């Protein structure tokens, strides 16, 4: 039986709500479809759906109770409910209470690229040193962050909270919930740049909002290589951050990347910290992961966890699904290697993924969807991908979406594969052309729905 996370009494106290009867919940969910038996279902009201319509289904699936701000019709008189003024405010209140009662030391992670992977790497190394709670998937927005903290166990040593944004002010609102001891900014890149009139400098200032919520005595872990580093440093000083630690290839970096031996399945990293050279194996391939690994070790050091053990644990860390995970799929009388980068994309992460494709042995195939929210320069940014694709000696490039049409036009005829209106139309074209021995990169922004291509490949491999 799962341990109790919230009792009716504790949840009612946290939210200033009223429980209709006693209950005990082992977790918190906002989706009746994925709810596990014993969890508290929070009936959020969104733009498209009202969670109150799914309370009966959640209870039928074994929910311990439901948090509601109106009683749904058709429920039994004794249905286990937590009545609150507003369920969204109730989730935030539950998050504040969950954070306040937990003994965990919290790391908050943001950045234009690498934040989910860095969060997962921190989870990987810290979970073996007293247990670690971390954001599920990319739960990094106005409902994902409070959900993560509402799920935070009391008796756990560490927690890692991912915080994202696509507009200024979002992180400033979220970081006080987490109250981190360490804040990590992985990198600054033109992600969501179309939402910032002041360009990439505005992105840097928005990411730096995470520093405003550090607990007294906290540590900021900052990327030394970004041209916007002075903006981050100024923000840290303005916020009164007690300790600033930098990472990167710059000679001035506190955690300096001295060398990296890249391989198709991982890398050997040589880093310098305070005059000591550390050499460790990293299970995630690609130069960008070496930089992420230094951010991880800087955070581990700031937390006071076992640094040597954490460095050793990175050897068996693998990227999460949709973030560079490699899988071999049966393909006709052989197999293909799939590089699944389908979750999201911006110019920096796209270039890193293409470089990783270039390390692989086999005929290299790139299947690329639009990078979104890039503003007026979007077409030029897409066309500019032609050069890294050539440098990686990619044999064939499949594209979809109106922005990727600019890349299609920029490619030499020998590299140009089919272009389609969307991922649904492109997927069967990819399936038809792939051959055993191919290495296939699939990447695009979430709105491009490149997961459809992944699903088509998986279905074809099973047939």
100 backbone φψ class: left, alpha, beta (φ>0; ψ -120 to 50): alpha
pLDDT digits (tens, 9 = 90+) for 23-79: 999 999 999 999 999 999 999 998 888 999 999 999 999 999 999 999 998 899 999
pLDDT of residue 193: 65
Distance, CA of 437 to CA of 21 (rounded, Å): 60
End-to-end CA distance of the chain: 39
**Is residue 300 within 8 Å of 126, Cβ to Cβ?**
yes
Q: Is the pLDDT of residue 354 over 90?
A: yes
Please state which architecture CATH assigns to domain 102-316.
3-Layer(aba) Sandwich (3.40)
Between residues 166 and 449, the one the model is more confident about = 449
Domain with residues 325-462, CATH architecture: Alpha-Beta Complex (3.90)
Sign of CA dihedral 202, 207, 208, 212: positive
Q: DSSP 3-state assignment of 54?
A: helix
Mean pLDDT, rounded, for 322-348: 89
**Where do you find CATH 3.40.1190.10 in the chain?**
102-316
Q: Which residues of 86-124 are buried (b: 16+ CB within 10 A; e: fewer)?
A: ebbebbbbbbbbbbeebebbbbbbbbbbbbbbbbbbbbb
Instruction: Supply the DSSP string of 399-428, one letter for each residue.
Output: EESTTHHHHHHHS-TTTEEEEESSHHHHHH
Whole-prediction pTM value?
0.87
83 forms beta bridges with: 18, 68
Q: Which residue has the higher pLDDT, 191 or 204?
A: 204
Per-residue pLDDT of 181-196, as tens digits, reads: 999 999 998 766 667 6
Query: CA–CA separation, 123 vs 121, rounded Å?
Result: 5
The two three-digit tokens of residue 226, written as one number: 């970004």
Exposed / middle / buried, residue 132 (Cβ in 10 Å: 0-12, 13-18, 19+): buried
CA 454 to chain centre: 19
In the chain, the percentage of residues whose pLDDT exceeds 70 is: 98
Percent of the chain with pLDDT over 90: 84
- The pLDDT assigned to 78 comes to 94
Give residue 255's Cα distance to chain centre: 23
Q: What pLDDT, on a 0 to 100 scale, did the predictor assign at position 136?
A: 85
Three-state SS at 385:
coil
Rounded to an integer, what distance in angstroms lies between the CA atom of residue 259 and that of residue 246? 17
Is the pLDDT confidence value at 358 over 70? Answer: yes
DSSP string, 160-181: EEE---SSTTHHHHHHHHH--S
Give the number of C-alpha atoms closer than 13 A to the C-alpha of residue 445, restricted to the C-beta side: 20
Interacting residues of 275 by C-beta distance below 8 A, sequence separation 6+:
none
pLDDT of 198 reads: 73
Looking at 3.40.120.10, 1.10.260.40, 1.10.10.10, 3.40.1390.10, the CATH number of the domain 6-87 comes to 3.40.1390.10
**In angstroms, rounded to a whole number, what is the distance separating the alpha carbons of residues 264 and 257?**
19
- CA-nearest of 416, 415, 417, 425 to 452 is 425
What are the pLDDT digits (tens) for 365-415?
A: 999 999 998 888 999 999 999 999 999 999 999 999 999 999 999 999 999
Each residue of 219-250: pLDDT tens digit? 999 999 999 999 999 999 999 999 999 999 99
Sheet containing 18-19: give its strands across. 18-19, 81-83, 65-68, 39-42, 27-29
Is the pLDDT confidence value at 319 over 90?
no
- The chain-wide mean pLDDT, for the chain, equals 94
Q: Pinpoint the residues of the chain covered by CATH 3.90.190.20.
A: 325-462
């Amino acid at each position: 039986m799962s341990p109790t996370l919230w009792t009716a009494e504790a949840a009612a106290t946290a939210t200033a709500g009223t429980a209709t009867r006693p209950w005990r919940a082992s977790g918190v969910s906002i989706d009746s479809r994925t709810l596990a038996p014993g969890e508290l279902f929070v009936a959020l009201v969104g733009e498209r759906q009202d969670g109150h319509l799914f309370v009966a289904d959640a209870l039928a699936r074994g929910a311990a109770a439901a948090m509601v701000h109106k009683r749904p019709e058709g429920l039994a008189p004794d249905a286990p409910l937590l009545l609150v003024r507003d369920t969204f405010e109730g989730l935030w209140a539950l998050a504040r209470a969950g954070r306040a009662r937990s003994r965990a030391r919290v790391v908050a992670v943001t950045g234009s690229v690498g934040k989910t992977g860095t969060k997962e790497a921190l989870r990987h190394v810290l979970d073996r040193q007293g247990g670690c709670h971390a954001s599920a998937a990319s739960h990094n927005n106005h409902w994902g962050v409070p959900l993560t903290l509402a799920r935070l166990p009391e008796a756990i040593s560490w927690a890692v909270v991912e915080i994202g944004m696509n507009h200024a002010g979002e992180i400033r609102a979220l970081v006080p919930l987490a109250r981190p001891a360490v804040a990590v900014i992985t990198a600054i890149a033109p992600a969501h740049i179309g939402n910032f009139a002041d360009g990439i400098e505005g992105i840097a200032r928005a990411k730096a909002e995470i520093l405003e919520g550090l607990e007294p005595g906290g540590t900021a872990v900052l990327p030394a290589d970004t041209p916007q580093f002075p903006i981050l440093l100024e923000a840290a000083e303005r916020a009164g951050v007690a300790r600033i630690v930098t990472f990167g290839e710059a000679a001035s970096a506190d955690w300096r990347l001295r060398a990296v031996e890249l391989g198709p399945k991982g890398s050997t990293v040589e880093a310098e910290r305070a005059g000591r050279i550390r050499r460790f194996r990293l299970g995630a391939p690609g130069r960008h992961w070496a930089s992420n690994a230094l951010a991880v070790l800087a955070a581990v050091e700031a937390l006071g966890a076992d640094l040597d053990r954490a460095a050793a644990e990175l050897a068996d860390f693998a990227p999460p699904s949709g973030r560079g995970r490699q899988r071999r799929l049966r393909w006709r009388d052989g197999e293909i290697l799939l590089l699944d980068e389908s979750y999201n994309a911006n110019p920096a992460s796209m270039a890193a993924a293409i470089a990783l494709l270039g390390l692989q042995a086999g005929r290299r195939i790139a299947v690329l969807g639009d990078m979104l929210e890039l503003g007026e320069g979007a077409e030029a940014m897409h066309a500019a991908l032609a050069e890294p694709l050539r440098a990686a000696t990619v044999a064939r490039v499949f594209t979809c979406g109106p922005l990727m049409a600019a890349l299609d036009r920029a490619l030499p005829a020998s590299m140009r594969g089919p272009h389609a209106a969307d991922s649904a139309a492109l997927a069967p074209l990819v399936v038809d052309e792939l051959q055993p021995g191919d290495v296939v990169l699939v990447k695009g922004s979430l709105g491009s729905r490149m997961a459809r291509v992944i699903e088509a490949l998986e279905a074809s491999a099973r047939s």
